Amino acid sequence: MRINYEDENFIREVETFSKNNLNRKTDLKKLIEISLSDHKEKEFEELAFTAKYLCGMMRVMKNAPAIPEVQSTEHIKEDLSKNLKKVIDQLRSIIAMGENEMQEYFEKTYLTLSSQNITNLNQLLSDLESVKKYINHLKRKD
């Protein structure tokens, strides 16, 4: 099944489905546009998958003390670190073919180490998680 990312309603449909406003709508649209123009829809979907996985792992880590099945958080921390690197590489791969200003913007806003950028990245990951959930919904619907 092919997802119609070009549809201007796609972002609104994600918000409606998730019952949440997206935090980084403009940047999400930029990522989609770059993915479409460079035929990287599959890479975009992989990025959304990794983002969804990371968000889930962050929730597990946050709630680990209350989850009796979690004996040690060390393996969770290792997995988080590995997948955070992966998501950053995936983002860089997608934006690599974008304009220089776009690449610089994403590096400055999400990929350089600062507390604000970590917040920005978490918001973008949350938005990508919502996209992935919506994509999964569309695939199950067909």
Q: What is the pLDDT of residues 68-78, one digit of tens each?
A: 676 777 778 89
Place of tokens 């918001």: 123
Coil, strand or helix: which one is 23? Answer: coil
CB atoms within 10 A of CB 7: 10
Task: Note the pLDDT tens digit of each residue in 73-99.
Answer: 777 889 999 999 999 999 999 999 889
Domains of the chain, by residue range, sit at 49-142
- What is the tens place of the pLDDT at every residue in 109-129? 999 989 999 999 999 999 999
Q: Is the pLDDT of residue 1 over 60?
A: no
pTM for the complete prediction?
0.89
Token couple for 41: 């829809």
Q: Say if residues 51 and 57 touch (Cβ distance below 8 Å).
A: no
CB 125 within 8 A of CB 24: no
